[in-house]
Structure 1
Amino acid sequence: MKKMVTLSLILLATLCTTSLMAEEKLNTPPEGFTALFNGKDLENWRGLVGNGNPYTLQEMSEEDRSKAQAEANELMSAHWGVQDGVLVFDGKGKSICSAKDFGDFELYVDWKIEPKGDSGIYVRSTPQIQIWDTEYPEYFKHGAEKGSGSLWNNKDNERFPLAKADNPVGEWNTFHIKMVGEKVTIWLNGKLVTDNVILENYWKRDAGIPVIEKGAIELQNHGNTLYFRNIYVKELN
């Protein structure tokens, strides 16, 4: 009898856990935030035109830009898709950008990579907040062992993260990114890894021009399978 009661309690606990998990909703933004990824399709996203240089885009005629964007969107649809509420990239094609440009903002994004994975988050169309396999020896020469969350393309300002906070490859990680003015603060899995550091203007570095005031949020690829979900943004006044 005692054994039957124990088994019943275990079954009840399992059912309760399953029920709670079923109630958890992916891609549902917290109060004050908007979901950039709706968990269903590629609404709110566009394909990357060229190499994503915003100044080059500004110089294109409206006709040329429209044609290039249509081609980029077609390529995006071929290699980016949605599986069970997760945005998945098959490792081919190009990066993906938010359809809207953002100035000052807060961003949450869950990401997951596979072994040898290499990716990043562009903010204001500018590279990049680094994502990579921090245990892959080939990347050590670039500083991967220091962790994800670095402002990889910085030269004059802090480049590497304050701490390594990555979960093991194959597990989900969460970035919380805050950008105000030209400065970026980043938390990875709840740990501060970049503290109010200037993001340098990769595209106009030699001219000494600060990062552009508004630009796209880009999910970068380096030829690896990538996974993203729970992408929430809040614009800051």
Structure 2
Amino acid sequence: MTAKLLVLPLLFTLHGCTTDAVVDASECVNALSAQEQAEGWRLLFAGDSLEQWRSYDEDEVNDGWANENGCLTRVAWGGDIISREQFADFELKLDWRISDSGNSGIFIRGDESESSIHHTGYEMQVLDNAGHSDSKDPSHRAGALYDMFIPDHDTSKPVGYWNQVHIIAAGPNVEFWLNGRQTASFSQGSPEWKAMYAQSKFTSRPRYGSLLQGHIGFQDHFDKVWYRNIRILEK
């Protein structure tokens, strides 16, 4: 009995050493500027509720995602989450922070007709470029149109820092911006798009990238990730 009691504190200590980082509440700011308010932007996450989101093909957000100190956070396995609303033409801005060697992604224009959102929606990659092995493939680096469009530069910030995203979708024309620099620009269904699609891993998914309206989603790729200040302007 004494030996078992001595082991328990050690187990708790070891567990504590492997606990994922928690972002301080002072960093989880979710607020529109005066200019954004005047232009008609609105928050999709205000830091107090996940009511505008739900898990893919579910009615609510499951326990894998949580409001952690005011940040929308992947805290355990829970699958991808999606916005309750669907959007066609819009501008989306948000900040992300990835865990060490972490991987996630931002989906747009996906629906629930298939087994997962990445059968229809396409992804702006979220990645620790310095620590994750996926960065060996240039089309898998942060800011990329995942597995299709390669950024010509690495504008990502390292683990521990926030990255600023701006996605612009107008009809078939889409732009990805990361930390103030454009990382992808493409037109859905164009000859260039079809050529990239033909060389990608998505050729068995005929509806991939075919929608001009759909959900916004965040990927659960097994790693902790934080999102804040998620705001949208519909056009």
Length-normalised TM-score, structure 1? 0.70
Distance 2:207 2:83 in 1: 26
Which residues in structure 2 correspond to 1:118-137 (within 5 Å)? 118-125=103-110, 126-136=121-131
Distance 2:80 2:227 in 1: 13
- Structure-2 change in CA distance of 1:218 and 1:25 (3 Å): closer
Distance 1:181 1:48 in 2: 24
- Structure-2 change in CA distance of 1:143 and 1:234 (3 Å): same
Partner of 2:51: 43
1:28 to 26, 31, 38: 31
Partner of 2:113: none
Distance 2:203 2:212 in 1: 13
Q: Which amino acid aligns with 1:85?
A: G
Distance 2:109 2:230 in 1: 16
Distance 1:95 1:208 in 2: 19
Partner of 2:13: none
2:103/2:132 contact within 8 Å kept: no
Distance 2:208 2:231 in 1: 29
More helix by share: 1
Partner of 1:151: 145
- Structure-2 change in CA distance of 1:174 and 1:209 (3 Å): closer
Distance 2:147 2:97 in 1: 22
Structure 1 stretch 135-144 or stretch 189-198: which is displaced more? 135-144
1:27/1:230 contact within 8 Å kept: yes
- Structure-2 change in CA distance of 1:149 and 1:137 (3 Å): closer
Structure having the higher Rg? 1
SS of residue in 2 equivalent to 1:149: coil
Q: Which amino acid aligns with 1:180?
A: A
Q: Which amino acid aligns with 2:228?
A: R
2:157 to 156, 167, 170: 167
Deviation at 1:208, TM superposition (A): 7.9
Establish whether residue 105 from structure 1 lines up as the match of residue 57 from structure 2: no
- Structure-2 change in CA distance of 1:210 and 1:130 (3 Å): closer
Deviation at 1:197, TM superposition (A): 4.5
- After TM superposition, the runs of 4+ consecutive aligned structure 1 residues lying more than 3 A away are 196-210
SS of residue in 2 equivalent to 1:77: coil
- Structure-2 change in CA distance of 1:173 and 1:192 (3 Å): same
- Structure-2 change in CA distance of 1:37 and 1:101 (3 Å): same
Distance 1:170 1:222 in 2: 18
Distance 1:225 1:112 in 2: 9
Number of corresponding residues: 186
Which residues in structure 2 correspond to 1:203-222 (within 5 Å)? 207=206, 211-222=210-221
SS of residue in 1 equivalent to 2:136: helix
1:147/1:163 contact within 8 Å kept: no
SS of residue in 2 equivalent to 1:174: strand
Distance 1:193 1:219 in 2: 19
- Structure-2 change in CA distance of 1:194 and 1:186 (3 Å): same
Q: Which amino acid aligns with 1:120?
A: G
1:95/1:220 contact within 8 Å kept: yes
- Structure-2 change in CA distance of 1:83 and 1:217 (3 Å): same
- Structure-2 change in CA distance of 1:165 and 1:222 (3 Å): same
For structure 1, list consecutive stretches of 5 or more residues without a partner in the other structure. 1-21, 50-68
Length-normalised TM-score, structure 2? 0.70
